[in-house]
Amino acid sequence: MKPTQIVPKILKKNEKNVKSICKSYNTMERSITASWVLHAIKITLGYESVRQEILVHYFPTLHRGNITKIRKAGFKNHVITFDAFIKPGKTRDEKSQKIQKYLENVVKMTGVVVFTATNIQMDENDLETHYQTFIVDNDNKKVYVIDPANDITVVKTSKSSKKILDSGQGIYYAQVAHETVRPFFEQNTDYDVKMVPLSHPAQIIEDDVFCQSWSLYILIALLSNEAYRTTAQFEIPEAQIDKYETILDFYKKLLKDVPSFATQLDEEYTKEINGCVDCDKTKLLKIKPSKWVPKMKKEDMSV
């Protein structure tokens, strides 16, 4: 869902309240800008090529020895992201089978292979995506599943609500993990599949649409010094405002460390604003997200 332009309704002006009205209007303008910037970040961090560039920046040897094998399997990039969408004339089962076909190649490789997959859309009107990342450790025959909505307090039992499809299910069900990835490994290999437990769910409210960000953030943290092997539980702040601060700090670090991400973000933002039909393009196009985000505060994330 795209942000919308908000126009404050000022019913009365007098000398007493003009200062507070101006302050309120400025706050609204900042909120509008923040919503568009975050919208552009969400889209940018969902792109396969962007996720690959970021991961290769931090881990230059990622997939060394396997890159040619992955490309020979029919993939342009070697850090794959399977999006949610089904091509015309195709089915959900075919999309799931495509992912499992990829996994058939992965288990023939050595070392660690990482990829991203989103829940597969139910129909053409289903535009909700939920990103999950996966670490396949071929040498140790283990698969680590990162679900940003993972809730360790949820345990599925015979008395659980029918809405609870699996233990650890948070506000979003990790459908592609439980119905595509896990079955492949359980039915075709002797690999151990483990959901990475989060101390608190990264996503706890439906307005939090940062699964692209959280899945990448946690993946990078776990790949660092092979932390995925020793991390019993990944720490996520409990309070929503602290979650926002964590992910905002992540954005600031990416912009500082990965120049190509800054360029792609600015381009995506401009494209989105130019496509907006009900916003103040003149003002919004003066904003450069790569320069604006470093000045953002955690409170700006709640838009």
pLDDT digits (tens, 9 = 90+) for 68-83: 999 999 999 999 999 9
Angle at the Cα of 234 from the Cα atoms of 232 and 235, rounded to 5 degrees: 130
Residue 301 clears pLDDT 50, i.e. is over it: yes
In a shared domain, residues 63 and 23: no
Cα gap 234→218, rounded to integer Å: 8
Residue 92 clears pLDDT 70, i.e. is over it: yes
The answer as to whether 248 is a domain residue is no
In a shared domain, residues 123 and 185: yes
The answer as to whether 250 is a domain residue is no
In a shared domain, residues 124 and 2: no
Domain count, the chain: 2
Average pLDDT, the chain: 88
Q: In what order do the strands lie in the sheet with 192-195?
A: 81-82, 112-118, 131-137, 142-146, 192-195
Lowest mean pLDDT among 81-90, 121-130, 143-152, 244-253: 121-130
* Cβ burial 207-216 (10 Å sphere, 16+ → b, else e): ebbbbbbbbb
Whether 249 contacts 213, CB under 8 Å: no
Residue 9 clears pLDDT 50, i.e. is over it: no
In a shared domain, residues 263 and 228: no
Pairing type for strands 81-82 and 112-118 reads parallel
In a shared domain, residues 294 and 195: no
The answer as to whether 241 is a domain residue is no
229-268 per-position pLDDT tens digit: 999 999 999 999 999 999 999 999 999 999 999 999 999 9
The answer as to whether 252 is a domain residue is no
* Cβ burial 6-40 (10 Å sphere, 16+ → b, else e): eeeeeeeeeeeeeeeeeeeeeeeebbbbbbbbbbb
Phi, psi values for residue 27, rounded to 5°: -65, -40
Cα gap 17→74, rounded to integer Å: 63
Pairing type for strands 131-137 and 112-118 reads antiparallel
Q: How does residue 302 score in pLDDT terms, banded at 50, 70 and 90?
A: confident
Share of the chain above pLDDT 70, in %: 83
In a shared domain, residues 58 and 29: no
Number of residues assigned to the chain: 303
Of 205, 236, 267, the residue that ends a domain is 236
**Which residues neighbour 27 within 8 Å (Cβ) at sequence distance 6 or greater?**
none
- Which SS3 state, helix, strand or coil, does residue 105 take? helix
In a shared domain, residues 194 and 63: yes
Letter for the amino acid at 156? K
In a shared domain, residues 271 and 161: no
The answer as to whether 244 is a domain residue is no
Residue 154 clears pLDDT 90, i.e. is over it: no
Residue 15 clears pLDDT 90, i.e. is over it: no
Q: Find residue 194's DSSP bridge partners.
A: 144
In a shared domain, residues 35 and 64: no
Mean pLDDT within 184-190: 97
More confident residue, 210 or 138: 138
Query: What range does the domain containing 220 cover?
Result: 48-236
The answer as to whether 253 is a domain residue is no
Mean pLDDT within 99-113: 97
In a shared domain, residues 94 and 176: yes
Q: Residue 284: what pLDDT? A: 95
The answer as to whether 215 is a domain residue is yes
In a shared domain, residues 214 and 182: yes
Whether 147 contacts 174, CB under 8 Å: yes
Q: Compute how many other C-beta atoms are within 10 angstroms of the C-beta atom of residue 80.
A: 21
In a shared domain, residues 140 and 200: yes
In DSSP notation, 150-204 reads: --TT----TTS-TT--STT--SS--HHIIIIIHHHHHHH--PEEEE--BSS-S--
* Cβ burial 92-122 (10 Å sphere, 16+ → b, else e): eeebbeebeebbebbbebeebbbbbbbbbbe
Q: Residue 129: what pLDDT? A: 79
The answer as to whether 205 is a domain residue is yes
Q: How does residue 133 score in pLDDT terms, banded at 50, 70 and 90?
A: very high
Element (H, E) at 273: helix 259-274
Q: Residue 158: what pLDDT? A: 60
Q: Residue 12: what pLDDT? A: 39
Cα gap 140→149, rounded to integer Å: 26
Whether 156 contacts 164, CB under 8 Å: yes
**Packing angle of the helix pair 18-44, 259-274 (nearest 10 deg):** 120
